[in-house]
Chain A
Amino acid sequence: MNLTFALLRRDLLLALRHGSDTLAVLLFFLLAAALFPLAIGPEPQTLGRLAPGILWVCALLSALLPLERLFAADFEDGTLDQLMLSGLPPSVVALIKAAGHWVVTGLPLLLAAGPVALMLRMPEEGIPVLLAGLLPGTMILSLLGTTGAAMIIGARRGGVLLPLLVLPLAAPVLIFGVSAVDAATGGQTAQPHLLLLAALLAIGLPFCPLAAGAALRAAVE
């Protein structure tokens, strides 16, 4: 247990020391979202209608950014060998990495999503539902992303391969996340969509670390 927290603390400390990498995710999210009003025009009606989709797609793409390097540094400097020999099961090592990824990218995206939603003129009644959906949504993205990142370790064009692996799996998250907001702004209940997101998280939480752990084991062989 101590080792688990020590490893998580180490990941967060490294993210803090390489602060520009961490900040880049947030800036990418803000910039990508800011491009849409320029492209489709500032008309509040259109923009507000599209805002949930824009926010979710931007969050999804931003969360992908740091994934290519998630295990690459550890693989190159030999730390991955040491992690595999730490006595922790590989799946726990993967879960620690996913947790670190969420704190460094998911949490900042969650904090920035509210202001960006206002900027895109999203109807105000949709914002709490958007955040309620992004909370499990970003966690699932971290879990799926960690699995993808573990699979591309050592691959020559990993950065290209990663979105191809992760994005199709992330499609349900996008669908339920956006339909939750649409339901709320359309005067319907968002609960079923949010519950489906929670169900996806409940499936991903045990299975993604297991798959990622197996990929890590294969990567060091």
Chain B
Amino acid sequence: MGGDIAAGLAHKGSKVHFLGAIVFHGLDMAAIRGERLVFSGVNFTLGAGEAMLLVGPNGSGKSTLMRILAGLGRLAGGQLIWNGDDALADRTAHAGRVAYLGHQDAVKHGLTVGENLQVWGDPAPGLVAMDLERLIDMPGRILSAGQKRRLALARLAINPAPIWLLDEPTLGLDAASVARLGHVLAAHRERGGMVVAATHLPLPLQDVRELALP
């Protein structure tokens, strides 16, 4: 029931305000990777407009947890709950409420910046948000690493999903782009969106909770 509302909201466009009461939380989560227990007993609660930072040394399972939150990975134990329901029971519905930025930028070399974005929605707001307007006709293959990252972030910016999952979002970005990302994240939280980020670099996020992975 709650899932339906969220999925509906996620498809209505970027101007929606998410319901304030919606809560995303994980209960006693555990993950196994390559027959090794990566983490166990991880709990978190995230409300509308809140942000959470995953901290922990290399190999502590930040990326693994991120993929689980996205519904891509598999939980070895525990539960992930969205608004009272099991979030992973219907993974396609869960996919509609998350936007995931992984280590890879998913930029197609054969398409221009504009075409790369167009698949996922109206490119204009994303191009403005990450200052990519001048590069709109540039093919993906000649973009620099930082420019590719900005394109991946622009795709995030036009994603109306309420939960944003960012794995090392500022990797390769210059200071101006990091500041722009800060504005995009602030606007998303203002609308009632949630942000989960994993990074070793300083992130432009105010008022953020930390979740430590051992």
Contact = CB atoms under 8 A, between A and B. Distances in A.
Contact of A14 (B98, B102, B110): B110
Given A6-B119, A85-B98, A221-B72, A17 B103 contact: no
A104 to B, nearest CB: 13
Interface string A119-158: 0000000000000000000000000000000000000000
Give chain B's interface secondary structure class. loop
Q: Closest 10 A-B residue pairs measured CB to CB? A: A78-B104, A17-B110, A87-B96, A78-B106, A79-B106, A85-B95, A6-B119, A14-B110, A82-B106, A89-B92
Contacts of A90: 92
Interface string A3-40: 10011011001100110000000000000000000000
Interface residues of B, number: 30
A112 interface: no
Interface of A: 3, 6-7, 9-10, 13-14, 17-18, 76-79, 81-82, 84-90, 217, 220-221
A84 B107 contact: no
B118 interface: yes
A14 B111 contact: yes
Interface of B: 7, 10-11, 67, 70-74, 91-92, 95-96, 98-100, 102-108, 110-111, 115, 118-120, 155
B110 A84 contact: no
Contacts of A84: 72, 95
Contacts of B120: 3, 6, 82, 86
Contacts of A17: 110-111
Contacts of B103: 78
Contact of B92 (A9, A87, A221): A87
Given A10-B115, A85-B72, A78 B105 contact: yes
- Chief secondary structure at chain A's binding surface: helix
Nearest to A217: B91
A82 B11 contact: no
Contacts of A79: 106, 108
Contacts of B119: 3, 6-7, 9-10
A86 B67 CA distance: 14
